[in-house]
Structure 1
Amino acid sequence: MDRTVREIHADFAHRAGYIGSGVGVAVMDTGIIKHKDFDHRILVFRDFCEQKQYPYDDNGHGTHVSGIIGGNGSASRGRYRGIAPGCNLIVLKALDRYGNGNTKEVLEATEWMIENKERYNIRILNISVGMLPSAKKEEKERLIAAMERAWNHGIVVVAAAGNNGPDAGSVTIPGILKTIITVGSSDDEGLPAKQHGLMPGYSGRGPTDQCIVKPEILAPGTNIISCSAGGKLYEMKSGTSMATPVVTGAIAVLLSAHPRLRPAEVKLILHDSAVPTALKGKKKAWGKLDVARMLLKSRPFS
């Protein structure tokens, strides 16, 4: 995370005092443990899989994602600090120990989030649930409708592009949805990807069936060190599931600076501040995330 924070210039925001304080981030994933880096900021844990009352993570994915978003790095003396170390976490366990989920649990988690949006100041949803285009039409439509409903209720939905690249049209659902923000990995090529069992160029790519450019934004997603739910404090993971919380954390930072921004305004700022990449046309996206540029481009909205 130390490398990632510097690479996207989140350290600029941190020095300016913008760390996501007070912003509620819903993380729909495999759960979370009470890691030292989350201190008292796990406001809610809701288990839609086993209905357990206490925070747990029987896979580790959700804890790692949450650390990227909002870990404060206290167990590493700040080295593995997340992008928005002051944000609050609302953790919705909708994925099981294998990282799989079903539409029913995702929909239940989404409805609970919308109903409790004001209570916990939920401004962002980070979702790594992904269906392939080959999924049943009804299931796809229900998931897409749920994410669109969340967006229309003022929640910025940030979804992973999936790890099925490099072929065109490989973005997973709900990442194909025009409204929401879809994230790809900016560093998905070469040996590091292979070391994690991923194909070089793994990041899902558009266009969608509606000829929409996806993903919109790219962020580091390979060899990301963050909080572990296992026997050690931190571990390394790779994938667009890691790039997505980088963007989610950046949006939490932005909303701590400008709390009144609406989802569409957040998306416009992301567009205007993205750094063009020199990827020889292999990836169609706005560009790469830059937090310092985000804050500078947000001034007309303040």
Structure 2
Amino acid sequence: MYRKKYTGKGIGVAVLDTGIFPHIDFGRRILAFCDFTEGKSGPYDDNGHGTHVSGILGGDGTASQGRYKGAAPGCGIVALKVLDRFGNGSREDVLQAFQWIEDFGKIYNIRIVNISVGTTSRSMNEQTDLLAGVEQLWDKGFTVVAAAGNQGPGDGTVTAPGSSRKIITVGSSDMLQGNKAVSGRGPTFECVCKPDLVAPGNRVTSCAPGIPYTYRIKSGTSMSTPLVSGGIACLLEKEPQLSNVEIKMLLRESTDDMGLPRNQQGWGKFNCEKLIKN
């Protein structure tokens, strides 16, 4: 496991994904890396998804002269690799990552957990374990933000753990209609309206593994989720005393209504400027 001495600056965000490549846009802000798939020690990403997500969240745009800057370029990133090079993972690895966050969260000032992954399994046992895991993190005070998944446009297509009633679930505002309508939508199997809100996720440019430092375009609710997580990190920099429940309510109050059904758009489209000014 890679660990860096925490300097006490910035909000820590745990990113559960395919890992992270030490792109120049992250500077020295990769606070820790733990590989639950292969047990390797140094930061790496053999898929690229996690690096892309982390760039949307916290890249500072150095390699692009500021053109591709993330939502919270001052945050600390804790990368937990729970998916392999093919983007596949196990429930056990994800649950171990949840426990890691509980054990080390205070050390790295982890306030937010970004989960841009979800299971397509219809196994009730697997979904129940993942939902219990994220809800335990939520109950311990972490602000958990998860993707709605790309199984839409049918009803009941929000993937776990995004289907949890407690956590903040994000869909893609530009992937709700037409031939790109893949953003997962509710209701969940517990008849809960989801997602909670939506944010842009179509053709997003962000960090990619490799030197010279490069960028790639990806689409999906995975790209929408770190945009919201980054906005929350900026809010917590301003008001660190806020609880996860208070943050969820502030998000609700700051969204823009798109005029779509609740199970498509949630409360509406994420508006970071309104959130920070709240």
Greater displacement, 125-134 / 102-111: 125-134
Query: What is the alpha-carbon distance in structure 1 between the residues aligned to residue 276 and residue 219 of structure 2?
Result: 27
Q: Given the alignment, which residue of 109, 112, 117 partners 1:129?
A: 117
| CA-to-aligned-CA distance 1:116-136 (integer Å, 9 cap, x gap) | 1110000000012212361x2
Q: Give the Cα separation in 2 of the matches to 1:211 and 1:142.
A: 18
What residue in structure 1 maps to residue 266 of structure 2? Answer: 285
SS of equivalent residue, structure 1 residue 119:
coil
1:164 aligns with 2:190: no
Give, in angstroms, the shift of residue 230 of structure 1.
Answer: 4.0
Q: 1:120 aligns with which of 108, 111, 115?
A: 108
After TM superposition, the structure 1 = structure 2 runs for residues 1-302 of structure 1, keeping only pairs within 5 Å, are 22-132=10-120, 134=122, 136-188=123-175, 200-230=180-210, 233-279=214-260, 283-297=264-278
Query: Aligned partners of 1:287 and 1:140: how far apart in 2?
Result: 26
Q: How many residues align?
A: 269
Structure 2: give runs of 5+ residues left out of the alignment. Answer: 1-8
Give identity over the alignment, percent.
Answer: 51
TM-score, normalized by length of structure 2? 0.93
Change (3 A) 1:184 1:190: closer
TM-score, length-normalised on structure 1? 0.86
Deviation at 1:31, TM superposition (A): 0.4
Matched to 1:150, the amino acid is L
State the Cα deviation string for residues 259-278 of structure 1 (Å, max 9, x = none): 01111000000011111113
Task: Supply the distance in 1 between the matched residues of 2:225 and 2:67 (Cα, whole angstroms).
Answer: 20
CA contact (8 A) 1:27 1:90 kept: yes
What amino acid does structure 1 have at the position aligned with 2:217? M
Measure, in 2, the Cα distance between the counterparts of 1:31 and 1:94: 8
CA distance in 2, matches of 1:93, 1:150: 18
SS at match of 2:107: helix
Q: 1:33/1:287 Cα in 2 relative to 1: closer, same or farther (>3 Å)?
A: same
1:91-117 Cα offsets, whole Å, 9 max, x none, are 000111111110110011110111111
AA matched with 2:15: V
Q: Indicate how the Cα distance of structure 1 residues 265 and 282 shifts in structure 2: closer, same or farther if over 3 A, else same.
A: closer
